[in-house]
DNA sequence: TGCGGGGTTGACGCTGCGTCAAGGTCAAGC
DNA sequence: GCTTGACCTTGACGCAGCGTCAACCCCGCA
């Protein structure tokens, strides 16, 4: 007759594991001796070893009991099902490895490569860091909702940067970032933006905005990044609104 | 301003996950509105997306917080550590797959291949099923404690089966299994066993028993399988003991 | 006013044990 | 007979990352 400790050591498991198996009914509770100790016989060791054999092969304990006395067909079926699950988990972990290898750090975390490229171009034409961060955050949101649309969006945005008017606007914004009290500069910036808005309207580029961004609340959310860039943005928004334009990420002409 | 549901849907996570991140301090608790609803801003979405990006790459949540504002060097170090852990887990699962593919079912569960072979030979010479089961269970215990010793043990046991005396003994045992009341048969079996014991003793085969099986309690445990085969085994043990021999798996000569 | 679809906190469940906590038991040495 | 140390007992929390009730509040709409 064995104590729990000897049983466990014969089977190569911990005492805690044995008690756990009792608790979940995998190993029957044996007789107790006068002092309450569990007393095991050799059959318990055999059963325990079999339990471990299955458990160490990745069989969930919940399935072990049925497997221990399953006929060959059921056994084989269960084994192949468990193997399937193991394969799935391995695939998941491999996917994790793939993703973790792609992770950039800090700024570029959660930002698709196309967006990183676009932000670099913005930086190259002298956009202020605050603007770039706002763009980055906004594109993080867009990428989370429509990851597949990012390449097209970015191709579009990069193409826009070829327009000298756009570059000039960013220059103005950059100067404004350093001297936001300059009212003439503010007006000049507003003019430049409206010029671009009107150009876009003339080319019909505003017409498919609704399809690209169908969610008004989401667009307001994106706008909030722009508003957070600098206090002067509020003034800018007012100036532009006075001239009948509303919105940053989806612009509309309204009665002034 | 967003409710928790919109926040979650923008970031592609469940509401429960967001609350969980609050609970573990990964995402700061936002302001509440008059009715107690949490009100989020766009920055919360960005942070949440970043958390998900890391979590979906297999980063444990406990590490996400530090990673979110780690410098590139620390970030890279953490990433490589996490990748190491992922590789370890993949190796573990692959080992599970390997083992599960090797699992026999029912009888052969937890029995090494060499033992299966030996049991088949026993069956071939006509050993009764009860004896084979007892052998099987005993070898399960031995294999659990000294798996590396099994091939040598089995080579030895298989070699023994070449001895006609051993084969004859199993024949007797087999007849005894069918007719345990036959006293003459019982005595003949005892004689056959003692003959083998003495032959082994003469060849010095009993001398290294202690080295092979140093644990007396363990040997008693193995013996208990033999005792459980059939009630007649008890009679057999007495008969043999009268002639000065004790034990099944490790035999000793004692003063009768 | 009722209904459906939000939101709130609190708590248990899952997996397979590890790890205290707070004791009772046993064999051995003094 | 007493201590010591190794072993046994039950009970309960902890772990990772949420899923899933339960029980209740809030809001807009017919």
Chain D nucleotides covered by protein, CB below 7 Å: 7-10, 16-20, 25-27
Per DSSP, A180 falls in state T
In whole angstroms, give the CA distance from residue A182 to residue A170.
Answer: 16
Q: Label residue A88 exposed, middle or buried (CB < 10 Å: 0-12, 13-18, 19+).
A: exposed
Q: Which range is least confidently modeled, B131-145, B178-192, B210-224, B232-246?
A: B210-224
* CATH architecture entry for B4-102: Orthogonal Bundle (1.10)
Mean pLDDT along residues A228-256: 87
Instruction: Write the secondary structure of chain B as one string of H (helix), E (strand) and C (coil).
Output: CECHHHHHHHHCCCHHHHHHHHHCCCCCCCCECCCCCECECHHHHHHHHHHHHHHHCCCCHHHHHHHHCCCHHHHHHHHHHHHHHHHHHHHHHHHHHHHHHHCCCHHHCCCCHHHHHHHHHHHHCCCCHHHHHHHHHHHHHHHHHCHHHHHHHHHHHHHHCCCHHHHHHHHHHHHHHHCCCCHHHHHHHHHHHHHHHHHHHHCCCCCCHHHHCCCHHHHHHHHHHHHCCCCHHHHHHHHHHHCCEECCCCCEECCC
**Res A256 pLDDT > 60:** no
Is any atom of strand C within 7 angstroms of residue A61's beta carbon? yes
DSSP letter assigned to residue A243: T
- pLDDT tens-place string over residues B175-220: 988 888 888 999 999 999 999 999 998 988 888 777 777 788 899 9
Selected residue of B49, B56, B80, B108 to mutate for chain A interface (largest A Cβ count, 10 A): B49
By C-alpha to C1' distance, D18 is nearest to B17
Q: Are B149 and B158 in contact (CB under 8 A)?
A: no
Mean pLDDT of chain A: 91
Rg (CA), chain A: 33
Which among B2, B49, B100 is the nearest to A57, CB-wise?
B100
Residues from chain B contacting residue A43 (CB–CB below 8 Å): 137
Q: Which nucleotide is nearest to A36 (CA to C1')?
A: D9
Name every chain B residue with its beta carbon within 8 A of the beta carbon of A75. Answer: 105-106
Strand C within 7 A of B38 CB: yes
B33-CA/C1-C1' distance, Å = 26
Convert the pLDDT of each residue in A67-126 to its tens digit.
Answer: 998 899 999 999 999 999 999 999 999 999 999 998 887 778 999 999 999 999 999 999
Going by the DSSP 8-state scheme, the letter that residue A33 receives in this structure is -
Q: Look up tokens 């023994």; give the residue.
A: B160
Is the Cβ atom of A65 within 7 Å of strand C at any atom? no
Mean of pLDDT values over A182-211: 88
The predicted pLDDT at position A85 comes to: 94
Residue A236 has pLDDT above 60, yes or no: yes
Q: Are strands A252-253 and A245-246 parallel, antiparallel or unpaired?
A: antiparallel
Which residues in B lie closer than 8 A to residue A6 (C-beta atoms)? 217
**Where does residue A36 fall: left (phi above 0), alpha (psi -120 to 50 degrees), or beta otherwise?**
left
Note the pLDDT of residue B37: 95
Residue extents of the structural domains in chain B: 4-102, 106-253
pLDDT of residue A178: 87
> In angstroms, what CA-CA distances link B25 with B29, B66, B78?
8, 12, 20
Interface contact flag, A100 B43, Cβ < 8 Å: no
pLDDT, one tens digit per residue, over B1-12 is 899 999 999 999
Per-residue pLDDT of B61-94, as tens digits, reads: 999 999 998 899 999 999 999 999 999 999 999 9
Residue B67 pLDDT: 92
Mean pLDDT computed over A145-158:
93
């Amino acid at each position: 007759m064995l104590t729990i400790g000897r049983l466990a050591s014969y089977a190569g498991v911990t005492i805690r594991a044995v008690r756990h198996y009792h608790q979940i009914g995998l190993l029957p509770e044996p007789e107790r001796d006068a002092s309450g100790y569990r007393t095991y016989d050799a059959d318990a060791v055999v059963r325990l070893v079999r339990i471990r054999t299955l458990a160490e092969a990745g069989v969930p304990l919940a399935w072990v009991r049925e497997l221990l006395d399953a006929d060959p067909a059921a056994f084989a079926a269960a084994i192949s099902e468990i193997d399937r699950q193991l394969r799935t988990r391995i695939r998941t972990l491999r996917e994790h490895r793939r993703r973790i290898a792609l992770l950039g750090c800090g700024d570029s975390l959660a930002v698709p490569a196309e967006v990183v490229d676009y932000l670099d171009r913005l930086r190259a034409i002298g956009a202020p860091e605050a603007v770039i961060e706002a763009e980055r955050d906004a594109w993080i949101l867009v990428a989370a909702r429509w990851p597949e649309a990012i390449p097209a969006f970015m191709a579009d945005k990069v193409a826009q940067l070829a327009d000298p008017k756009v570059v000039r606007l960013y220059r103005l914004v950059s100067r404004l970032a350093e001297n936001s009290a300059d009212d003439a500069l503010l007006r000049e910036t507003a003019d430049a933006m409206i010029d671009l808005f009107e150009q876009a309207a003339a080319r019909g580029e505003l017409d498919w905005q609704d399809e690209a961004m169908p969610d008004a609340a989401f667009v307001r959310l994106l706008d909030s990044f722009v508003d957070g860039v600098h206090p002067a943005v509020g003034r800018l928004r007012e100036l532009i609104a006075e001239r009948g334009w509303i919105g940053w990420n989806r612009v509309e002409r309204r009665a002034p």
